């Protein structure tokens, strides 16, 4: 199983990079693609509908503004979707957040913080780690190091 990272535009790539780096640091297989709900709707449908049969175990979807890709993809697959609202120049990303988070009951999207792509990847890692002891151990180590870093911080 692998993770899919999709984003509404190439302009979202910078914000989505921490997700890519995080998946790589845990050694998770992933694919990444620009898919827009509005500019490439046919591709979005095809991608969402074939995700499970292509071995995708989680979809991380970043988008800004009228950020519909996460929700619409979630409506077309039972593969878990993790939404990342991208900060926007005009409305700061609150627009993206609200567009992603307010899903109707029955079609969940796990919505991260604005620009929270690192946590999106970590959530995917946690999901995959439920059935992968080696990955679970890596997560424990990640958390241990993170805690250690805070405890050792000098201010």
Query: Where on the chain is the footprint of ligand RP5 (CB under 6 A)?
Result: 8-9, 11-12, 36, 63-65, 86
CB of 10 to ligand RP5, least distance (A): 7
Beta bridge partners of 61: 6, 83
Q: Which is nearer to ligand RP5, 66 or 137 (CB)?
A: 66
> By C-beta, is 8 or 57 nearer to ligand RP5?
8
Find the shortest distance in angstroms from Cβ 18 to ligand RP5: 16
Which CB sits closer to ligand RP5, 57 or 65? 65
In the bound complex, what is the minimum distance in angstroms from residue 123's beta carbon to ligand RP5? 20
Shortest distance, position 2 Cβ to ligand RP5, whole Å: 22
57: number of Cβ within 10 Å: 18
Q: Tokens 């988070």: give the residue.
A: 101
Taking the complex as a whole, the smallest distance from the CB of residue 67 to ligand RP5 amounts, in Å, to 6
Show the 3-state SS of the chain: CEEEEEECCHHHHHHHHHHHHHHHHCCCCEEEEECCCCCCHHHHHHHHHHCCCCCEEEEEEEEECCCCHHHHHHHCCCCCEEEEEECCCCCCCHHHHHHHHCCCCCCCCEECCCCCHHHHHHHHHHHHHCCCHHHHHHHHHHHHHHHHHHHHCCC
Residue 61 or 127 with smaller CB distance to ligand RP5: 61
Q: Minimal CB distance to ligand RP5: which residue?
A: 8
Closest to ligand RP5 by CB, 64 vs 125, is 64
């Amino acid at each position: 199983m692998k993770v899919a990272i999709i984003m509404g535009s190439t302009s979202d790539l910078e914000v989505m990079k921490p997700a890519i780096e995080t998946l790589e640091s845990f050694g998770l297989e992933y694919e990444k693609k620009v898919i827009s709900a509005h500019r490439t709707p046919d591709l979005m449908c095809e991608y969402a509908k074939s995700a499970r049969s292509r071995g995708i175990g989680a979809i991380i979807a970043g988008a800004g503004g009228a950020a519909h890709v996460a929700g619409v993809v979630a409506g077309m697959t039972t593969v878990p979707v993790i939404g990342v609202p991208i900060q926007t120049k005009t409305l700061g990303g609150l627009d993206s957040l609200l567009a992603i988070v307010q899903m109707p009951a029955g079609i969940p999207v796990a919505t991260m913080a604005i620009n929270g792509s690192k946590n999106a990847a970590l959530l995917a890692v946690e999901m995959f780690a439920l059935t992968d002891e080696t990955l679970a151990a890596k997560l424990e180590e990640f958390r241990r190091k993170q805690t250690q870093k805070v405890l050792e911080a000098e201010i």
